[in-house]
A and B are shown apart, each in its own frame.
Chain A
Amino acid sequence: MLKSSQPLRNHTSSHAILNLLTVNNLTVSTEHKSGSINILDNLNFKLERGKSLGVVGESGCGKSMMAFAIMGLLPDNMTASGEVQFGGNLLSLPEKELCQIRGNKISMVFQEPMSALNPVLPIGFQVAESLRLHKNLSRHQAQQQASKVLDRVGLPTQQYSRSLYPHQLSGGQRQRVVIAIAMACGPELIIADEPTTALDVTIQAQILALIAELVYEENMSLILITHDLGVVAENTDQMLVMYAGRIVERGPTNKVFENLAHPYTRGLFASIPDAEITNTEKGLETEYSQTNRLSTIPGRVPEFWERSKGCTFAERCSRSQANCSSQLPDEIRLGTGHSAACFFPYKQKV
C-alpha cells in the first residue's frame, strides 16, 4: 500500500547544499518578573539533507520551544535572536514569506492529533488545504492529490473515505492524517514534536516506522523531538540532549549511547527501567546507582528563573565541583562530531 510509484516531490539535484538547516546562536528570551530570562540559550546545530536529528530532554528543557522558534511560531511574549539558516535566515523573514515556507518547505507533526486536526472538517479537506494554498492546485486537483497522500500514509480510499471526520478515526489513524498534512506539499524538513507520546506502544512503532519510511523515500530531513531515549536510539542518525535550555551533549546517536559522556545523559539513561535487562546487568557505573532500585537524578529541573550562571545541571550533578555553578562549560570534543558541555565528562565507555 505504500509503494511509491511517484514521489510526491521532485528531488532536488544532488549538488544541493549539504546542510539543510543551520542554527546559530539561537536564543529565545522572555520577560519575567525577575527580569529577562532565556528559555533557549545559544543553540548551535546543523542538520544535513536526508538525515534525522533526535532531540531529547525532559519537559521544560526547551525542546518544543526550539521547534516553534524554527517555525516562527513563538508566542508573542517571546523573542528569538540568532540565526536559523534555511535558504535564508528564517528569523529575519517577514511573516508573509514565512507563511510560504511553513507547511510547504518545513512542516510539523504535533503531539496530540486530536487538537492538531480541525474537528469540523473532513480529513480529505484538511490534507488538501495546504496543497491548495502552497501549490495553487484547484479544489479538485488538490482533493485528488490529498487522496494519494492519504493512501501513502496507510489510509487507503477504499477503507477510509476522504469525507470522514477526525472523531471517527482512532488515535493512530488521526496521527497518520496529521503526517499526511505535514508531507502533502513534499517538505524538505519535517519537525515531529513528540509524535507518538499520546499513542500506545504498538501504534507508536507503526507511526515511527511510517515516518522513517517517508523521510527516507522522499529524502526529507527529520527533527524528532521526544523525551523517550528509546525512540531516539531507534530512529535517528544524530542527536542532541537538552537540559534547561541548553544543549549538553550532541553527536551521532550511536556514539552518544556508547559514551553517555555528560552526567545528565548518563543519569537520564540510568533512570529508565529496561524492558529487557535489569539495571544491574546494564553495568552502569554511575554514582547514582544502587542495587535493585532505579537510579535517580536527585532534585528536579530548575525553573527558568532559577537557572544559575554556570552549568544548569550543577546542583543535581554528582560530579560537580566549585567552578561548575559559576562558569559555563564549553563543549568538549570527545570524538568525531561528539561533544559534551561539561567540565568533567565521563571518559570511559558504557
Chain B
Amino acid sequence: MNQEKTDTSLLEIRKVVREYILPRQELFSPAKRFRALDGVSLTVNSGESFGIVGESGCGKSTLARTVMALEAPQSGEICFQGENLHALKAKELRRVRGGLQMIFQDPYGSLDPRQSVGKIVAEPLSLLGEMTFKKRNEMVAEALDNVGLSPNDAAKFPHEFSGGQRQRIAIARALITRPALIVADEPVSALDVSVQAQVLNLMMDLRDRHGLAYLFISHDLSIVRHMTTKVAVMYAGRIVEQGPTQTLFDHAQHPYTRALLAAVPRTDPSRKKRKSANSSEPKMPVPNFESLSTNGCAYASRCPLVEDKCRNISPVLQNIKAGFSAGVENNPQTIDHKVACYKPHTALATS
C-alpha cells in the first residue's frame, strides 16, 4: 500500500477549519457558528506516533473525524499519501480509505453486537475489492492472531469478550487492510488501568512490527507521553504548542500546557497539601469554548500571564527562539518545538 512513497510525510493537515452551525437563539437571529478547528496544521510522518492532547471540547475528536474524511472541513486540506482526501471522488476515497483506519473509544459501542467477530474484522476487506472466501478467512485469522486473540474467536460474538479483548477486536479490524495510519481516538480511556497497559503495549508492538503511524488522541497526558514521539496540545480548536514529546513535556512553554501538566495527579503522597480557605493561588476559570471571541488568544481568559496584546491579536504558532534560553539553544530537537504564545515559559525564565 505504501510502496511508492518518496517523501516521509504520510499525513499533512494544512490550515484546516471546521465550523459547526449552532441552533439559533431566537427565530430571526443569525445562526451562530462554532469553530471546532481553527486553522490546524500538522504533519505525521510514516511510522511515527503523533499525539494530540487537550480538554474535552477542544476539537480533538473533530480533527480525528476530518482526518478520516468523515466530515469535510470548510477550508484547508488534508493530504494522505499526497492525495487531498476531501477533493477525491467517493470511489477514489474508498480506495484510499484502506490505508487509513480508526480505533474508537468505546469498545462496547463500536462493535455490532449482532455480527460475529469474524464478520466484524472482515468488514474493511470490502475496500480491497473481490477476494476468495479462503483468502478472507486467512486474513481474519492473521489479524486476530496479530492482536493476541485466537483464530477460533472469529465465530464468537462481541458480548463474549471483556472490554480489553473487545478493544483488541477493534484493533484487528483496523489492522486487516494493512493501513499506514491508524487514528486512535481515546483508545484506552474506557478500559481499566491494568488492561489499559496491555492494549497500549499491543499498540506499540504493532507499530514496531508493521511500521504503523498513529494519530493518537487522548486527554491522558501520561499515556500520550508514553506512546508518542511528537505531540500537539490543542486548545479551543487551535494548536497552542507542538513538538517532540520528550522536549515538550520537559520544557513546556505555553501556560496552558504547563497548567495541564500541573493538574495531573501524581502517585506521590508527599504532594498532598491541605488547601486552606484563603489559598492565594489563582483559580482557573472554567472554559466555555462556545463563547470565545475569534480575536486574540483563546486561552487569554484563563491565562495567569495575560496582557492586553493577548486579548487582541492571536499569537502565531512559531518555533521557540533559540535565544530564549541558553540551555535549550544547543538542543537541535527544539527546532521543531513550536508555541503560540507571547510569553512562553523560557522567555520568562531568562528575563
Taking Cβ atoms with an 8 Å cutoff, the residues of A that contact B are 2-4, 58-59, 154, 170-173, 200-206, 208-209, 212-213, 216-217, 227-231, 233-236, 253-254, 257, 267-269, 271-276, 278, 293-297, 300-301
What CA separation (Å) do A268 and B259 show in the bound complex? Answer: 26
Q: A58-B193, A268-B194 are in contact. Are A216 and B275 (CB under 8 A)?
A: yes
Can you show 10 pairs from A to B with CB atoms below 8 A apart? Answer: A58-B192, A170-B288, A173-B286, A213-B279, A235-B272, A271-B196, A273-B197, A273-B227, A274-B266, A275-B222
Query: In angstroms, how far is the closest chain A Cβ from the Cβ of B120?
Result: 20
User: Across the interface, which residues of A come within 8 angstroms of B262, CB to CB?
Assistant: 205
C-alpha spacing A155/B152, complex, angstroms: 56
Q: How many residues of B contact A (CB 8 A)?
A: 47
Using known A-B contacts A272-B267, A296-B194, determine if residue A217 contacts B272 with beta carbons closer than 8 Å: no
Q: Smallest CB–CB gap between B193 and chain A, Å?
A: 6
Contact: B277 with A257, CB < 8 Å?
Answer: no
Q: Which residues of A contact B286 (CB under 8 A)?
A: 170, 172-173, 203
Q: A58-B192, A272-B197, A296-B198 are in contact. List 9 more A-B contacts (CB 8 A).
A: A202-B55, A202-B259, A203-B286, A208-B265, A209-B279, A213-B275, A269-B267, A272-B196, A273-B200
Contact A294/B200 with A200-B219, A272-B193, A275-B264 known, Cβ cut-off 8 Å? yes
Determine which of A154, A203, A228, A295 lies in contact with B265 in the assembled complex, contact meaning CB atoms within 8 Å.
A228
A residues in contact with B278, CB < 8 Å: 2-3
- B223: A residues at CB distance < 8 A: 273
**Chain B residues within CB distance 8 Å of chain A:** 55-56, 162, 164, 192-198, 200-201, 204, 219, 221-223, 225-227, 249, 259-272, 274-279, 283-284, 286-288
With A200-B219, A230-B265, A230-B266: A300-B197 Cβ-Cβ less than 8 Å: no
Asked whether A200 lies within 8 Å of B55 as measured between CB atoms, the reply is yes
Partner of A294 from the list B201, B264, B271, B287 (CB cut-off 8 Å) is: B201
Closest beta carbon of chain A to B82's beta carbon, Å: 32
CB contact between B283 and one of A4, A154, A278 (< 8 Å): that residue: A154
Q: Which of A213, A254, A273 contacts B225 (CB 8 A)?
A: A273
Question: Which residues in A have their C-beta under 8 angstroms from that of B198?
Answer: 296
* B194:A58 contact, CB within 8 angstroms: yes
CB-CB nearest in chain A for B275: A213
In the assembled complex, the CB of B102 is this many whole angstroms from the nearest CB of chain A, namely 23
Task: Flag if A233 contacts B265 (CB, 8 Å).
Answer: yes
A254 touches B270 (CB 8 A): yes
The answer to whether A295 touches B197, judged by C-beta atoms less than 8 angstroms apart, is yes
A257 touches B192 (CB 8 A): no
- A294-B277 contact, Cβ under 8 Å, with A154-B283, A201-B55, A275-B249: no
Chain B residues near A172 (CB-CB < 8 A): 286
Q: A154-B283, A201-B260, A296-B198 are known contacts. Are A233 and B277 too (CB-CB below 8 A)?
A: no
Q: How far is the CA of A21 from the CA of B162 in the complex (A)?
A: 36
B277 surroundings in chain A (CB, below 8 A): 2-4, 213, 217
Distance to closest chain A CB from B286 (angstroms): 5
In angstroms, Cα B267 to Cα A227, docked, is 12
Measured in the bound complex, the distance between the Cα atoms of B164 and A300 in whole Å is 9
